Every structure is written in structure tokens, then in C-alpha cells.
Amino acid sequence: MPTKTLQIPTADGRADAFAAFPDHGARHPGVLLYTDAFGVRPELEERARELAGHGYYVLVPNLYYRHGPAPVVELPEHIGEEVRPAVIAQLMPLVEAHTTERILRDADAYLRFLAAQPEVSAGPAAVIGYCVGAALAMRTAAAHPGQVAAVAGFHPGFLVTDAPDSPHRLVPKLTVQVHLGLSENDMSSEAIGELDQALDAAGVGYTTEIYPGTVHGFTMSDTDAFSPSALQRHWDRLLPLLHRTLTRS
């Protein structure tokens, strides 16, 4: 499986990124993958490789590139509950510094870069996000109608907030199909209802599903939240979504 370490030109500098793609010469649909709060690391690189094995060019940018190359914060090999609070405390200033304005400037650069890669076929991309990345995926799709065909978010955070530009308020701008895979503790039933109501009103094709027996972070095998069965369910939902929405050459 070919992989590359890349530098993406952005309005604010250069974002380091990891890319994986199939090893035969054809061009493939592009997928922009936003990481969880822990950022680019072997877990996400392996996720990109596995997805590339299904026929996609997968780009995984370092969300925190303004603060240095990945990993910006030193991460243990396994992020157990005993170290998680300390790691999150280090990361929260970086998450908070990643404002909506920065998110949108970066999204422009990432999609432009992805479309320009010689291994990427013409047509819209998909955007996937884990944890905080799910909100970034929704913002990216809303800001680029026609350029994004699918959004998938897993154990998402910050989709429904009180902010005037909360992702759920951007739903009318979406021209995508959506799947959201939630843990049992990601969102309140009221928040899920508000999000579903917005998606229904906008006529967006979507599924919102609570994966049973899960906690936040269930797809990540380098954390205590990991659930093998939920990770498989994630693939069972994600791969059909990509297959039916992305144009293959």
C-alpha cells in the first residue's frame, strides 16, 4: 500500500499530512479524513491504509500544523484512562485555537490539494471525521456544496452547540449523504433530535445511529474506549456510503 508524507500549502503556512492510496496505477476517489483530538498517529495512518485498500486516496492532515509537525503533543503508545486527562489537557489549547475561520481556510486548502493529486480521480470527495473531526467534516461539506458528496462522523463532538454557527445550523447548505455513528454518551437525546430535525427539514439523506454498548472514541484501538464490534459496524456503514456516492473511474 503506497503512502506519502506530504506538505499542503495553506493560507497560514504548510500542513504536514499522511496519504495512503491503492498500489495500482488508476486514479481513485478522494477522501479527506479529519482525525480525532489526538491527531495524526499510527492508529490513523493504519485507518487510512485500510480505507485505501478499498479503492480510495485518503488524505489525513495534521490539524495542529500551526503548532508544529505531528505529533504536536507526545502521545503514549496506548492512551489509557490513567493518562487520558493529562493528554487532553495538553491538547485542549490546540483544539480551542482551531477556530471556525481556521477550519474553513484549511478545508479550502485540503480539498484543493486533494483534487490536484495525480492519483485522485475527477468528481466530488468524501469527508470523514472522528470525534472533533466530525464537526470539521460537517463544516467542510457545508462550505463546499458540490465538491463533497458524503460526510461520515464517528463518536462526534460539537455538532450541536449554542453557537450561531453550530454545525447543525449549517445543515441547509449540505449537498451530501450523511452517516453519524454515535456512542451511547456522545450526545443527549435532545441534541440528537435537534440534529435529525435539521437534517429532515433540509431534505438531506442521512442515518444517525447509536452504536450499542459503546463509549466516546470506540473506533480507536489505541485507547481504552475501543470496541472491535463497533469498529466493524463503522466499516459496515462507511464503505457502502462511499461506494454509492463517489464516482469511480
Radius of gyration of the chain (CA): 17
- Give the separation between CA 198 and CA 119, rounded to whole angstroms: 36
pLDDT of residue 177: 98
Q: If you search the block for the grid coordinates 483530538, which residue do you land on? A: 37
Instruction: Find the mean pLDDT for residues 181-205.
Output: 97
Q: Are 107 and 144 contacting, i.e. CB atoms less than 8 angstroms apart?
A: yes
Q: What is the pTM of this model?
A: 0.97
Q: If you search the block for the grid coordinates 488508476, which residue do you land on? A: 26
pLDDT at residue 247 greater than cutoff 80: no
What digits encode the pLDDT tens for the residues 204-246? Answer: 999 999 999 999 999 999 999 999 999 999 999 999 999 999 9
pLDDT of residue 25: 80
The mean-pLDDT minimum among 23-27, 42-46, 68-72, 151-155 falls in: 23-27
